[in-house]
A and B are shown apart, each in its own frame.
Chain A
Amino acid sequence: KAGVTQTPRYLIKTRGQQVTLSCSPISGHRSVSWYQQTPGQGLQFLFEYFSETQRNKGNFPGRFSGRQFSNSRSEMNVSTLELGDSALYLCASSLVGGDYGYTFGSGTRLTVV
């Protein structure tokens, strides 16, 4: 059974650019969540999608957005990149409600220069 797949693994972008990250959940998982991991702030929730609907959003500026497709694959987009957006972005998928826990991908390491 394939795990959660995130692409690309690494990205280097310049300030002001925009970036799109992709996440393919485990087959059958309909919930996809995104987290930002940084040394200073730790793991912080960005947003959660279920059946193409955003159900929950964390405390991040509007430059951070996402979407989910009918096959449960999800993308997140960050516009007008800032140096502080450099982080590991993690995607997690789960069955409905996450009662059995969330399975995380390996992440996309974004570096903004």
Chain B
Amino acid sequence: AQRVTQPEKLLSVFKGAPVELKCNYSYSGSPELFWYVQYSRQRLQLLLRHISRESIKGFTADLNKGETSFHLKKPFAQEEDSAMYYCALKYTDKLIFGTGTRLQVFP
């Protein structure tokens, strides 16, 4: 069955520290993966799509098919990065979300 796993509920770092939010997926086909972010009191926003291989707000994510992972990384965290992050797998025109990781960046 298709599944997305985000093992960490909460990740706390200090400003300027590197960040890695983990995401593993279970899918036998060629995956289409996304990272969404939800800032406090704001709507869910698309952060990254793996097919575009872009960097948004300093975040990058690389698809590793061998490890079935799509970890989100940022070399230097900022306080404004504090939010809830969701990894999602697109499957038959629907998104399967992980349970999310709350990132807290302390000053």
Contacts and interface: CB of A to CB of B under 8 A. Distances in A.
A48 B94 contact: yes
Interface in B6-56: 32, 34, 36, 43-46, 49, 51
Interface size class of B (residues with CB under 8 A): 20 to 34
B43 A107 contact: yes
Interface in A44-64: 44-45, 48, 50, 55-56, 58
Contacts of B90: 98
B49 A101 contact: yes
A65 to B, nearest CB: 17
Given A42-B99, A97-B93, A107-B43, 19 more contacts: A31-B93, A33-B94, A42-B97, A42-B98, A43-B86, A43-B95, A43-B100, A48-B94, A50-B93, A56-B92, A90-B44, A98-B90, A98-B93, A100-B49, A101-B34, A101-B46, A101-B49, A104-B44, A104-B45
Interface of B: 32, 34, 36, 43-46, 49, 51, 86, 90, 92-100
Contact of A102 (B51, B95, B99, B100): B95
Interface string A89-113: 0101000011111111111000000
Interface of A: 3, 31, 33, 35, 42-45, 48, 50, 55-56, 58, 90, 92, 97-107
Interface residues of B: mostly helix, strand, loop or mixed? strand
